[in-house]
Structure 1
Amino acid sequence: MKIIFITGLSFFMSLSSWLSPKPVDTSIPVCHNAVGNDMSAMAADPAFQQLHLAPLPFTYKGAGDMVKFPTADGKSASGFLLKSKKPSDKWLLVYQEWWGLNDNIKKEAETYYNDLKDVNVLAVDMYDGKVATEPAEAGKLMQGADQKRLEEIMKGAIAYAGPKAEFASVGWCFGGMLSLKSAMLEGKKAKGCVMYYGRPEQDVEKLKSLETDVLGFFGSQDKGISPESVKTFEENMQKAGEKVTVKMYDAGHGFANPSNPVYNKEAAADAYKRSLSYLKDKLNA
C-alpha cells in the first residue's frame, strides 16, 4: 500500500474525496491525508516528518509479556499483554502511534491496566516487530504498512481474546484511526472506542457498522487532523445514526504522548481522566 502526502494540507484525505460517491470497501485509511491510494511520497516527505518530532528516550520497566497469535493470512502477529489477575472476558485493545509498539505504548497500556483493574489489556503490534525512533524511520514503516495485513492483525487479536470476549479500544494518531476500525471489526462484541487525534472514517456506510459509540480527543492546533475534518466526522456519525462525543483541546498533534516534545500535560491528564471514566463504564470495570 503506497502513500502520497500533500505538504501544507491536511494529513487526511481531502474533504471532496471523502464525500464523493464511491463503492464501499473494507480498506483501512491511513492516519493522515492522501490523494488517491498512493501514500509513500507523503510518508517520505521531510516536511511531513517534521510535524512528528522524535519521541524522547524512554525505557519501559514494568509488567506484561509479549504474546503471539495466528492470523488468517497464514502468518502470526504479536502484542504486549497485561493479563487480568482474575479471569475476565473484558479486553482493552491498545493501538500504537506511527512509531510502532514502543516502550511508551507499553507504559500507556500498563497505566490503563492498573486503573481498569480486572481487564485484559493487549497492545497490538501493527508493524510486526518493527519500531522507529526517528521520523524518517516511521515514514518508512508507514510506507510499508499493507492495509490487508493491518486488518488481519486486528482480526487475529480479536480472535485471540476468545469467543466470549467483550472489547473496548484506544489508540493515538495512526492508532486512533485503527481504534475506530477495530471497533468496526469487533461487531457486537464492541463496547467502547477511544480515539486520540486519529484520522476519522468519513464513509457513512462504514460508520453504520459500528455497534458502539465513540469518544474522540482532538487538538484545535493540529495541522493534520483539522477541526473542520472532526466536525465533518461528527456530522457523518449523526447521518449514520451513531453517537460520538468529541473533546477539542487547545493543543497540537500528539499532545497526549509524554515522550513527545509537544506534550501538553494538562490536556493529556484531562483526556486520560475522561477516557478512563468512559472505559470503566463501557467495560463495567
Structure 2
Amino acid sequence: MKKIWTLCAALLSVATMASAQSKISCCTRPAANATETFAMLATNEDFSGGHDSPLPYAYEGQGEMIEFKTTDGQTGKGFEIKSNVRSDKYLFIIHEWWGLNDYIKKEAATYANELKGVNIIALDLYDGQVATTPDEAGKLMQAVKTERAEAIIKGALLHAGPGAKVASIGWCFGGGWSLQTALLAGPKAVGSVVYYGMPEKDVAKLKTLNTDVLGIFATQDKWINPEVVAQFQKDMVAAKEKVTIVSYDADHAFANPSNPKYSKEYSAKAHELALAYLRKNFKLKS
C-alpha cells in the first residue's frame, strides 16, 4: 500500500491482468467496460491487502429483504426501507465488494432517516453471497457478470414503477455501479453519487445521462487515481454533462470504518456533501 504507482504503471497492471483474466477469473472474456476493468483489481495484492475484513456486526432495525423479477427471467434481491408516506422517490444503494452485508443495511437505515419521503433499496449484485475476507470479496467481485448486474438493476427499476424518480449511491465496486445505474435508469434518473468507483469511459454512453453526477474521490487513491478522475471530468465535459468532483486528501475506501485508511473527518464531510446533493436532487426540504 505504500508503493507509489505512476499512471503508466497502473495501466500496465490493468493490461497484464486483462491478459491473464481467463486464468484467474470465472469471466472468460476480456474486460469490456469500466466495471469489469475495476473488478480485475481484485487480483492485485496491494488492492486486496488494503481492505481489512469487516468487524462482526449484526443489523437490527427497520427494513426487510425483498425479491423482484429481473429482466433476464430470474429474480433479484434487495434490502428495502419504505418511506412512511407514499412516494415515487427511490434511492438505490450499491454495496462495496463485500456484498450486501449488515453494514450496508445500516447505511440504508441512515439514509432512510435522513431522506424523509424517499424509499431506500440496497441492491444485491452478488445474488445473496456475502464476503467476510478480502480473498472471498475479490472472487465475488470478479465473478460479477455485467449482463446479470444490469438485469438486477433493470428489475429494480421496474419494481420502483414507471413514474419513479431514482438516485443512486455506491462505494468502490458500488461506486462504479452507481454511475451505471444512472445510465440504465434513463429518464427516471435524478441523481448519482460515485464514491471512488471506476468511471464510465465511453463518452457516447455518458451523453445519455439524464442527471448530473457527484463524484467523491481520494487524492491518495492508487487505482481510481487523480489521473483517472481528471479524465472522467474531461469526458463529462465532452459529453456536455454536469459533474461535481470533490477529492479529499485521503486513500481509497476512506469512508469505510473497517478499512485501515478510514478517515472519520473526510467520511463525515463526504456524507454531508452526498446528503445535501440527494436532498437537492430529490427536491426535499432540509
- TM-score of the two chains, using structure 1 as the length reference: 0.87
Find the aligned partners of 1:43 and 1:221 in 2 and give their Cα distance. 18
| Equivalences for residues 205-284 of structure 1 within 5 A | 205-284=204-283
Secondary structure at the counterpart of residue 10 of structure 2 = coil
Q: Counterpart of 1:135?
A: 134
Find the aligned partners of 2:126 and 2:252 in 1 and give their Cα distance. 21
Instruction: Letter of the 2:75 partner, please give it.
Output: S
| Equivalences for residues 140-155 of structure 1 within 5 A | 140-155=139-154
Aligned residues: percent identity?
52
For the 8 Å contact 1:93–1:167, the answer to whether it is kept is yes
Q: Counterpart of 1:21?
A: none
Q: Counterpart of 1:9?
A: 10
| Equivalences for residues 1-285 of structure 1 within 5 A | 9=10, 28-30=33-35, 33=38, 39=40, 42-285=41-284
**Residues 106 and 52 (structure 1 numbering): CA distance in 2 closer, same or farther, change over 3 Å?**
same
How far did 1:223 drift? 1.0
Secondary structure at the counterpart of residue 223 of structure 2 = coil
Unaligned runs of 5+ in 2: 1-8, 19-31
Instruction: Letter of the 2:252 partner, please give it.
Output: H
Find the aligned partners of 1:75 and 1:11 in 2 and give their Cα distance. 38
Find the aligned partners of 2:12 and 2:64 in 1 and give their Cα distance. 34
Instruction: Letter of the 2:199 partner, please give it.
Output: P
Instruction: Letter of the 1:70 partner, please give it.
Output: K
Tell me the alpha carbon deviations over residues 148-198 of structure 1, each in whole angstroms, 9 at most, x when there is no partner.
Answer: 101001101111101111011000011000000000111111111101000
Find the aligned partners of 2:266 and 2:182 in 1 and give their Cα distance. 25
Whichever structure has more helix as a proportion of its residues is 2
How far did 1:144 drift? 1.3
Find the aligned partners of 2:230 and 2:73 in 1 and give their Cα distance. 40
For the 8 Å contact 1:60–1:104, the answer to whether it is kept is yes
For the 8 Å contact 1:98–1:142, the answer to whether it is kept is yes
Find the aligned partners of 1:108 and 1:66 in 2 and give their Cα distance. 15
Deviating more after overlay: 57-66 vs 270-279: 57-66
Secondary structure at the counterpart of residue 166 of structure 2 = strand
Find the aligned partners of 1:118 and 1:13 in 2 and give their Cα distance. 42
Unaligned runs of 5+ in 1: 1-7, 18-26
Tell me the alpha carbon deviations over residues 193-235 of structure 1, each in whole angstroms, 9 at most, x when there is no partner.
Answer: 1010000111111110101000010000111110110000000
Secondary structure at the counterpart of residue 148 of structure 1 = helix
For the 8 Å contact 1:10–1:223, the answer to whether it is kept is no
For the 8 Å contact 1:10–1:226, the answer to whether it is kept is no
How far did 1:32 drift? 5.2
**Residues 11 and 201 (structure 1 numbering): CA distance in 2 closer, same or farther, change over 3 Å?**
farther
**Residues 166 and 221 (structure 1 numbering): CA distance in 2 closer, same or farther, change over 3 Å?**
same
Find the aligned partners of 1:43 and 1:181 in 2 and give their Cα distance. 20
Find the aligned partners of 2:95 and 2:213 in 1 and give their Cα distance. 18
- TM-score of the two chains, using structure 2 as the length reference: 0.87
Instruction: Letter of the 1:178 partner, please give it.
Output: W
Find the aligned partners of 1:137 and 1:203 in 2 and give their Cα distance. 30
Find the aligned partners of 1:108 and 1:74 in 2 and give their Cα distance. 29
Secondary structure at the counterpart of residue 179 of structure 1 = helix
**Residues 82 and 280 (structure 1 numbering): CA distance in 2 closer, same or farther, change over 3 Å?**
same
Find the aligned partners of 1:148 and 1:193 in 2 and give their Cα distance. 21
Q: 4+ runs of 1 displaced by more than 4 Å?
A: 10-14, 31-34
Find the aligned partners of 2:263 and 2:111 in 1 and give their Cα distance. 19
For the 8 Å contact 2:36–2:142, the answer to whether it is kept is no
Find the aligned partners of 1:12 and 1:193 in 2 and give their Cα distance. 29
- Report the count of equivalent residues: 263
Find the aligned partners of 2:85 and 2:258 in 1 and give their Cα distance. 31
